[in-house]
Amino acid sequence: MRRFLFLLVSMAAATVLADDYQVTFGVTGGQGYHGQTVASKAFISTDTELQGWSFGIRWEAGLVGLVSHARGLALETVNHGNPADFISIESNPVDGPGITQGVVVSFMQTAVLPVGQNYEVLSMVFSLEGKPVGDEPIVTRARFTEDLGLPPVAVVYVVGGNSYAPNKADATLTILPPPKDCKIENFTCESDPDNVFLKWDYLGCGGERPFDFLYLYRDRTLLGELSVDTVSYDDLGLQPGVYTYTLAWVYWPASGDPITLDYVQCTAQVIALMVTDVSPKTAFLPGTVPDPAQAGNFLPGVLTVQGRGFRGGLNDENEPLTQVFIGGVPAPTLAVVGDHTITASIPCSSKLGVFDVLVAVEGRGEILVPKAFTYGWLRADVDIDGSITLQDAIVLLNYLFLEGREPYCLDAADANDDGVNDVADAVFLIYMAAGINPSLYTPKEPWTAPAVTDPTGVPLGCALVGFTCTQGR
pLDDT tens-digit series, residues 194-230: 899 999 988 766 555 556 678 999 999 999 998 877 8
Residue 255's domain spans which residues?
183-270
Q: What is the pLDDT of residue 43?
A: 97
Compute the average pLDDT of residues 420-443.
88
Final residue of a structural domain among 129, 161, 176? 176
**Count of domains observed in the chain:** 4
Instruction: Please say whether the beta carbons of 166 and 157 come within 8 A.
Output: yes
264 and 401 share one domain: no
CATH number, domain with residue 463: 1.10.1330.10
Neighbours of 236 (CB within 10 A): 9
The tens digit of pLDDT for each residue in 360-380 reads 999 888 999 999 998 888 888
Please give the residue that has the higher pLDDT: either 256 or 181.
Answer: 181
pLDDT band at 15 (very low <50, low <70, confident <90, very high): very low
428 and 291 share one domain: no
Compute the average pLDDT of residues 271-281.
89
Run of H or E including 412: helix 410-413
Final residue of a structural domain among 270, 298, 316? 270
Q: Is the pLDDT assigned to residue 286 strictly greater than 50?
A: yes
Percent residues over pLDDT 70 in the chain = 87
**CB-based contacts of 142, cutoff 8 Å, min separation 6:** 27, 29, 40, 57, 58, 59, 64, 126, 170, 171, 173
Crossing angle of helices 390-401 and 423-433, rounded to 10°: 160
Nearest in space to 64 (alpha carbons), one of 159, 140, 12, 163: 140
pLDDT band at 440 (very low <50, low <70, confident <90, very high): confident
Strands in 260-270's sheet, in edge-to-edge order, are 221-225, 211-218, 241-251, 260-270
112 and 229 share one domain: no
Sequential DSSP letters for 176-245: EPPPSS-EEEEEEEEE-SS-EEEEEEEES-TT---EEEEEEEETTEEEEEPPTT--EEEE-SPPSEEEEE
Lowest mean pLDDT among 157-171, 280-294, 300-314: 280-294
Q: What is the pLDDT of residue 59?
A: 96
CATH number, domain with residue 215: 2.60.40.10
Q: Is the pLDDT assigned to residue 169 strictly greater than 90?
A: yes
120 and 265 share one domain: no
Please give the residue that has the higher pLDDT: either 55 or 256.
Answer: 55
Q: Is the pLDDT assigned to residue 382 strictly greater than 90?
A: no
Run of H or E including 298: strand 298-300
d(CA 99, CA 4) in angstroms, rounded, equals 15
Q: What is the pLDDT of residue 221?
A: 93
Final residue of a structural domain among 374, 393, 421? 374
Compute the average pLDDT of residues 409-424.
90
418 and 314 share one domain: no
CA-based angle 56:58:61, to the nearest 5? 155
20 and 103 share one domain: yes
Q: What is the pLDDT of residue 294?
A: 41
68 and 85 share one domain: yes
314 and 257 share one domain: no
333 and 386 share one domain: no
Q: What is the pLDDT of residue 287?
A: 59
Lowest mean pLDDT among 56-60, 144-148, 438-442, 469-473: 469-473
Q: What is the pLDDT of residue 46?
A: 96
pLDDT band at 32 (very low <50, low <70, confident <90, very high): confident
Phi, psi of 158 (to 5 degrees): -120, 130
357 and 411 share one domain: no
77 and 154 share one domain: yes
CATH number, domain with residue 11: 2.60.40.680
Compute the average pLDDT of residues 392-413.
90
Q: Is the pLDDT assigned to residue 298 strictly greater than 60?
A: no
364 and 400 share one domain: no
Q: What is the pLDDT of residue 295?
A: 36
Across the chain, mean pLDDT equals 85
